[in-house]
Amino acid sequence: DFLFFWGAVFLITTTLVALLKKENKELTPTKEETKGITDTYKLLFSIIKMPAVLTFCLMILTAKVGFSAADAVTGLKLVEEGVPKEHLALLAVPMVPLQIILPLVISKYTAGPQPLNTFYKAMPFRLLLGLEFAFLVWWTPKVRHEGGFPVYYYIVVLLSYALHQITLYSMYVAIMAFNAKVSDPLIGGTYMTLLNTVSNLGGNWPSTVALWLVDPLTVKECAGAPNQTCRTVAAAEV
C-alpha cells in the first residue's frame, strides 16, 4: 500500500509537471559543450582520461572496501541471531531526523577549500565501527533470553547505528562537496554525474562482493555429523 500510494503520487506529480510547466524561451541559452549523446560520451571519455580524474576514480572505487562487510552483513547477521526484523526496522525511525540534520551540520566543514579532509578524518572512525559491529554480532546471542532481547541491547544497537550514520554522512557529504567543487561549470551536470556514478559504484561493488563471500567464509559445525563440513547449502541440508 505504501509503495502503491507513493507510486501514484509520483506519476501524478510528474505528469502535472510535464503538462503545466513551460520552458522560459526568452532567456538566452548558455553556451553548451555538448549537443547530443555521442558528444556527451566523447566528453566523458576525455574527462576520465585526465590523470587527476583517473586517480580520484581509482581512490573512490576502492575507498569503501574496508567497511563493506560491516555495512552489508551486520543487519543480516543480527536477524540470523534472532533479532526481529521489525525491531531493526523500528530502529531506523529515530535515524531519520539524524539523517536530515547531519548534512546541514557537516556541510559547514566541507564548504572550505579542502572538503575531502572530512572524508579522510571520518574513515578511521568508520573502520573502528566495523570492529564494533563485529563485536555486536558476537555479543547478540549472549544477551538473548526467552523473552527476546533486553532494552539496553537495543539502546546499544541504536547508538552504534547513530555513530555509523555520522561517519557515513561525513564521507558522503564530503565526496559530494568535492565533486561539486572540481566539476567544470560549463559541463557541470555531465562532470558531476560521472564522478557521482563512480562514487556510488565504489560503495555498491564491495557490498556485493562481501555478501557473496559470506557463505564461503563462514565456519560451520554440524551437530551429530562430525564428518560433514556443512560449508555448502546442500551439505547443511543433509
Q: Do 150 and 216 form a contact (C-beta atoms < 8 A)?
A: no
Nearest to 78, CA basis, from 17, 161, 4: 161
The pLDDT of residue 62: 93
Q: Please, are residues 125 and 167 in contact by the beta-carbon 8 Å criterion?
A: yes
What is the rounded (10 degree) CA torsion for 120, 121, 124, 129?
Answer: -120
Per-residue pLDDT, 183: 81
Within the chain, residue ranges assigned H as helices are 2-20, 37-48, 51-62, 68-80, 85-91, 95-110, 116-143, 151-182, 188-217, 233-237
Rounded to a whole number of angstroms, the distance between the first and last alpha carbons of the chain is 40
- At residue 223, the pLDDT reads 77
- pLDDT tens digit sequence for 69-123: 999 999 999 998 889 999 888 888 888 898 889 888 888 888 878 888 999 999 9
CB atoms within 10 A of CB 36: 8
Q: How far is CA 187 from CA 27, 42, 108, in A?
A: 19, 13, 26
Amino acid 35: pLDDT: 63
Tens of pLDDT along 167-183? 999 999 999 889 888 88
In this structure, what C-alpha cell is assigned to residue 175?
565526496
Q: What are 20-46's pLDDT values in tens digits?
A: 988 777 665 555 555 677 887 888 888
Q: Which residues pair with 145 in a beta bridge?
A: 148
Distance CA 17, CA 116 (A): 37
Q: How confident is the model at residue 230 (pLDDT cuts 50, 70, 90)?
A: confident
Selected residue with higher pLDDT from 14 and 36: 14
Kindly list the structural domains of the chain, giving each domain's residue range(s) and its CATH number in brackets, ordered by start.
Answer: 38-216 (1.20.1250)
